[in-house]
Structure 1
Amino acid sequence: MSEVIRPPFTRETALKKVKAAERAWNTRNPPHISLAYTPDTIWRNRDTFLQGREEVVKFLTKKWEREHFYVLRKELFAFTDDKIAVQASITFFYEWNEKPDGSGQWFRTYGLEDWTFDRETGLMRKRMMSGNDVSIAEEDRWFRKGPEHVDEVKITERHL
């Protein structure tokens, strides 16, 4: 069984929390991912507002019906006792294709997330996300090797 990371965060535990979220999201398994959030979690994802795990599962299911070959990288941006900010690699970056066979347009999504955690359970009670989709050429992809290799990609200050 994995360690439950609860606030207050240190730099080490905040980094672990971010990378655990990255691994979970890269499974693209909405019911599994939803377990990292409180049952009444509150989300803003761009222009969509959600509350509760059931809405999170529906949202993520629909998301991955559109975003194929999804690979995500998250990086720690800042943290306090019970908050963590991630940015598309301090921040988050993810790449995806619009077609299930990979023949469509490739995109890289850049964004920022602000997370607030329940101190007792360590579950995320609030997630606020802002992101932008940028079309990229297939040869400009960073995460060709898959989710297990996302930290091998050097992302420069230009992209942060």
Structure 2
Amino acid sequence: MKVLAILLLVMVLLLGCAAMAQGQNDGAVLGELDALKYRLNNVSDTLGPELIRLQKAEYRVYEQRERLTLPQRLDAIDLANEAVARADRYEGEIDSVEQGLNAAASRYRPAAMSRVNATIAEGKMDILRADITRLRSDTAALRLSAERIRQMV
């Protein structure tokens, strides 16, 4: 009877250790996905207002294109060049996040995770992919707006 109780205790301890190890694995993948989402949010927080500001400037240049003085034209060109440089930085950060997402997806093992955490991880990866697509589109719009400003001046 003592042997059976000891075996039962050992089994419970082993199952507890396995559950803790699984939780650590789950937490690592989910934590990495959260960090990637944070980085994308930082890009989004700066890219969105930048795009709006540049599109407003594009409209002002369009409205006044016949009356722009040389210094105003040079300022508009500088604004467009700065926007393209920022778009390059945004694309670099987006590429870096996408590489991190691909790395996390390659380490993602749904069989090794709890069902709930596996579902959460899949949802987070889908959201990250959608955010990456949206931010790439916004970056392309930023470049396009800068190019239109250059053409008008």
Tell me which of the two structures has the higher relative contact order, counting C-alpha pairs closer than 8 angstroms and 6 or more residues apart.
Answer: 2
**Structure 1 or 2: more helix by fraction:** 2
TM-score relative to the length of structure 1: 0.22
- Larger Cα Rg: Structure 1 or Structure 2? 2
TM-score relative to the length of structure 2: 0.22
